[in-house]
Amino acid sequence: MSAPLSGPGPAQQVPGRGPVRTGSPRTSRTARNHAPITAAGLAAKVILLGLVAGIAIWAAFPLVEAEKWVGLVVLALTTAALFYLYLGRRHVPAKYLVPGTLFLIAFQIVPVLYTASTAFTNFGDGHRGSKDDAIVAIQSSSVKQVPGSAQYPLSVATKGDPATGALVFLITDPETGAVSVGDSEGLRPLDPGAATIAPGGKVTAADGYTVLNFGQASARSKDITDLVVPTAGGALRSSGLSRAYEGKAVRAYDRGCDCVKDSDSGKTWTADSALGAFVSADGERLAQGWKVNVGLSNFTRVLTDERISGPFLGTLIWNFAFAIGSTGGTFILGMLIALALHSPRMRGTNLYRMLLILPYAMPSFAMLLVWRDMFNTDFGLINNLFGLSVDWFGQDWSARAAVILVQLWLGYPYMFLVATGALQAIPRELTEASSVDGASPWQSFKAVTLPLLLVALSPLLISSFAFNFNNFNAIYLTTEGAPFPADNSSNGATDLLITYTYRLAFGGQAAQFGFAAAISLFIFAIVAVVSAISFRRTRQQEEVYA
Amino acid sequence: MRIRTAGVVALFALALAASGCGGDSDEPAAKESPKAAGGKLVIWADDKRTAALKPFAEKFGQENGVTVEVQAVPNEDLQNNFVTVSSQGGGPDAVIGAHDWIGNLVQNGAIDPVQLPDEQKAAFNETAVKAVTFNGQLYGVPYAQENLALIRNTDLAPEAPKTIEDLVATGKQLKAQKKVTETLCLQVGQKGDAYHIYPLYASAGGYLFGTTANGDYDPKDLGVGKPESIAAFKKIAALGEKGEGVLKRSIADTNSTATFTGKKCAFLVSGPWAIADVKKAGITYDVSAVPGFAGGKAAAPFVGVQSFYVAAKGKNKALAQEFVANYVTRPELAVALYQADPRPPALTAALDQVKGSDPDLAKFVEAGKNGQVLPAIPAMAAIWDPFGKAEAAVIGGADPTSTVTAAGKTIAGSIK
């Protein structure tokens, strides 16, 4: 991120500001070639490469199981390349760059690409899996017990080995006590004398068959749930391991018309591959849909849906105000305290510093909740202490002031810490020299201390801005976006884009990951542009003062 | 020399990796060996129920020669995690959760219907069976139900109020005598609470969804935004901050019970889960139905049901069905789960068994007699947020007509 910006000159003058270079590449190459192989180095190499191989093998099994061959090839190539790289003596720069690059790809680039690809789909509740998954779910949830039919005591048995043999159902008629054998061909009566029946009707032994106990049967769970014994009215299926019922799948998928038919009502739902759902002629959708590519519709929805685009600009402005207010406020407060404690005439600075760090030492998650309760109108500490009856979170501006105040309290210790550090790095001679030249303390602060401070702190301010721009907890754990206009429940006065997005994507009907991904790409673009501009300005500043 | 070092390093590295993997695969093999060919049943439940379920799950495992594993997942993550792993084709074989998850679980193909014979269905409370029935199919086996009731401090208010007006009058009197600071502890908060306001909304004539011919909730007949709902919200507004000051946004989920146990209010609208705190605070209390408006309908609280589900993508569905349909329908398990978390059992036999030792239970059941089953249709998810916020706005003094009309539009817009 902060590669040496202004050539090797300054890098050598200011130690610690960039990679320190010793000698030319040529001499270092020969030096490394002659470097002795130490035992510790060798051991580290063995352990790290062993870990790589271990992780690769661990990751390979699920990939093989899921038949993800592309993933397997990528895994194999990466592992082979890592071994080649670190077992050889060449490619020294790559040895330093590859680990970081791999982590960058795994934890930054892949998630961003995944988010981007999700933004073009309708992935969300009701549209999570494939079309085949949806069809299976529709059919299996439509299996109903045939009206008036009985439930039968069931035993699972086989003629062969309990672990592999073909399974049959042994079923006892609850009224007559007659036992039948069922397989995928149908039901056949069993000799009355051939079976031993326990009280309750379950067959415990039958001539020619091995009755499976629960342990054996449960190991073959899939075979049992897949076994369907056709009957006149429908089919016998297992309900667990000890009961069978006569059921009928009311809805069935027909590949010919690419539709689902309901045999009871005669209704059909035709697959709509643009929606990822089965839709009937009268517009009714089956709940179980599947994931499809929806092109740009998530993006156009952000721009054209009035419910979303209407409050967008207002939220964006408040979002900037919040991020600038919390970053600027904490910076100014933190810096002022740091300056006060930096003064050589100050006594007991260590005690003050310790006390000032306290808010930073407490978990912000819990502190946000405590602050939320302190702002309660009737029971809150703030109103009780000052004898007020302000409805803090009930009015736009008081709620906004409250969340910024909370951010100020949570954030200033950090700014105080970094400002203290940066101040100590500024040589006192500079301010002394300016005061010798007749500058007032304010003038020397403005012309000498502040610019030098900003050079050191600008990157931190930018990252703090980016963090606060998306500071979900600060809003969600305090106001939750409140107050809301009476006629609009989706956008409140203290909503940031990120809390607003969260509510749009997950607060309404159901989780809409595709839509949420589209909005987060918008936010990503905004933050990226702001950061790029700020970093460009910082660089110019650094060139002036460095 | 160079090649040899490289080779040795590679060999060692691979040997290390192999030994690591070997160690990994040894363990389960050693564990499984005593249990012959048995299958494994994985159940997901929240922390409290995991503890209650474990002994029974182990017993089921021993009786049947299978391994049963109960995994604790925090309640707030349970549904989401289950749907996510299920869509990846994995996850548990059985799950315990609230019945209003059913709509979402079904639309994501995460659970399968359960086939119970009629005599087994009859052993359950009728409301509970109705709650777990969705699209005409039984999707879960209920074990406990819960609903809101009015808990009152009998030192302050000896008589159970018959109407909301009675309650307000008693509360005002107590307030005038400086015995309490609040009339009623009914949680609202900044974004409202649809679940807790619903009894009053229903009593004032409002409804959320109409019902179809077969008794299911009908997402096409939305009651929010209809004239009845506006009338209901006008009555709620009269109790709000600009009216009687009985309903307040400053009373929220975080402080409602605490305010009651701190003796700052005489009446608390809450469920069986609040009883433990009330007992701990040493308050003499009684439980009665939430009163309705004078001359209005009955104040119907939502009835929620906790239930066992069979996962559609579980590896051991047959065993899960066996466990859910034939084992958890036993009263002993329902009693044990009641002891872990005192909510009335859905199994009539189990309720009768514990009713004697816990009089509150019967009172909660009685308070829920007029209750309505919490809708499990996916469209219900669209109600909570807009309805709650409309409630908070109206209680804060916003105009009921425009607020509720707008909320109705928002909800209708997000129902597909």
Q: What is the CATH number of the domain that holds B71?
A: 3.40.190.10
Question: Once rounded to an integer, what is the mean pLDDT over residues A187-202?
Answer: 84
Q: Is residue B23 part of a domain?
A: no
Q: Based on the number of CB atoms within 10 Å of its own CB, is A361 exposed (0-12), middle (13-18) or buried (19 or more)?
A: exposed
Fold adopted by A144-249: Periplasmic binding protein-like II (2.40.430)
Task: Using pLDDT thresholds of 50, 70 and 90, give the confidence band for residue A208.
Answer: confident
d(CA A44, CA B16): 12
A332 Cα to chain B: minimum distance (Å) = 32
* ipTM score assigned to the predicted complex: 0.79
Residues B295 and B162 in one domain: yes
Q: Is residue B410 part of a domain?
A: yes
Q: What is the pLDDT of residue A359?
A: 83
Residues B184 and B285 in one domain: yes
Other C-beta atoms lying within 10 Å of the C-beta of residue B30: 8
Q: What would the two tokens of residue A323 be?
A: 């991020």
In three-state secondary structure terms, B182 is strand
User: What length does chain A have?
Assistant: 546
Whole-number CA gyration radius for chain B: 26
Instruction: Give residue B366's domain range.
Output: 38-146+304-372
Q: Is residue B350 part of a domain?
A: yes
Taking only the tens place, the pLDDT of each residue in A303-334 is: 888 777 788 888 989 999 999 999 999 999 99
Q: Is residue B261 part of a domain?
A: yes
Q: What is the model's pTM?
A: 0.81
Q: Is residue B27 part of a domain?
A: no
Residues B323 and B398 in one domain: no
Which segments of A175-282 does DSSP mark as H helices, in order?
214-219, 221-226
Q: What is the pLDDT of residue A5?
A: 37
Residues B80 and B95 in one domain: yes
User: For residue A482, which residues of chain B lie inside 8 Å, CB to CB?
Assistant: 190-191, 392
User: Is the distance from CB of A121 to CB of A296 less than 8 angstroms?
Assistant: no
User: Is the distance from CB of A236 to CB of A228 less than 8 angstroms?
Assistant: yes
| Domain ranges (residues) in chain A | 39-76, 144-249, 307-545
Interface probe, candidates B389, B402, B404, chain A, greatest A C-beta count within 10 A: B389
Note whether B318 contacts A218, CB cutoff 8 Å.
yes
Q: What is the pLDDT of residue B38?
A: 64
- The residue assigned the tokens 């040529």 is A26
Three-class SS string for A3-30?
A: CCCCCHHHHHHCCCCCCCCCCCHHHHHH
Q: Which residue would you say has higher pLDDT here, B394 or A162?
A: B394
Q: Kindly report the average pLDDT of chain A as a whole number.
A: 85
Chain A contact for B6 (CB, 8 A cutoff)? yes
The CATH class for the domain spanning A307-545 reads: mainly alpha
User: Is the distance from CB of A179 to CB of A172 less than 8 angstroms?
Assistant: yes
Note whether B10 contacts A490, CB cutoff 8 Å.
no
A213 Cα to chain B: minimum distance (Å) = 8
Q: What would the two tokens of residue A524 be?
A: 């990503």
Q: Is residue B316 part of a domain?
A: yes
Chain B 318-357, residues with CB within 8 Å of chain A CB atoms: 318-319, 321-326
Other C-beta atoms lying within 10 Å of the C-beta of residue A331: 24
Note whether A53 contacts B35, CB cutoff 8 Å.
no
Residues B353 and B261 in one domain: no
Q: Is residue B183 part of a domain?
A: yes
Other C-beta atoms lying within 10 Å of the C-beta of residue B35: 15
* CA atoms within 13 Å, Cβ hemisphere of B280: 8
Chain A contact for B250 (CB, 8 A cutoff)? yes
**A49-88 residues labelled b (16+ CB within 10 A) or e (exposed):** bbebbbebbeeeeebeeeeeeeebeebeeebeebbeebbe
Note whether B113 contacts A54, CB cutoff 8 Å.
no
Residues B109 and B57 in one domain: yes
Task: Using pLDDT thresholds of 50, 70 and 90, give the confidence band for residue A21.
Answer: very low
Residues B182 and B252 in one domain: yes
Residues B254 and B311 in one domain: no
Q: Is residue B314 part of a domain?
A: yes
* Per-residue pLDDT tens digits of chain B, which is 416 residues long: 455 666 666 666 666 655 554 444 434 433 333 344 468 899 999 888 888 888 888 888 888 888 899 999 988 889 889 998 998 888 899 999 999 899 989 999 999 999 888 888 899 988 899 999 988 889 999 989 999 999 999 999 999 999 999 999 999 999 999 999 999 999 999 889 999 999 999 999 999 999 888 778 888 899 999 999 999 999 999 999 999 999 999 999 989 999 999 999 999 999 998 998 999 999 999 999 999 999 999 999 999 999 999 999 888 899 999 899 888 888 888 888 888 778 899 999 999 888 888 889 889 999 998 899 999 888 888 898 899 999 999 999 999 999 999 999 988 888 86
The residues pairing with B75 across neighbouring beta strands, listed in sequence order, are none
Residues B358 and B381 in one domain: no
Q: Name the domain count of chain B.
A: 2
- Ramachandran bin of A317, using left for φ above 0, alpha for ψ from -120 to 50, beta for the remaining angles: alpha
Note whether B403 contacts A487, CB cutoff 8 Å.
yes
d(CA A487, CA B411): 12
Q: What is the pLDDT of residue A33?
A: 53
Residues B189 and B288 in one domain: yes
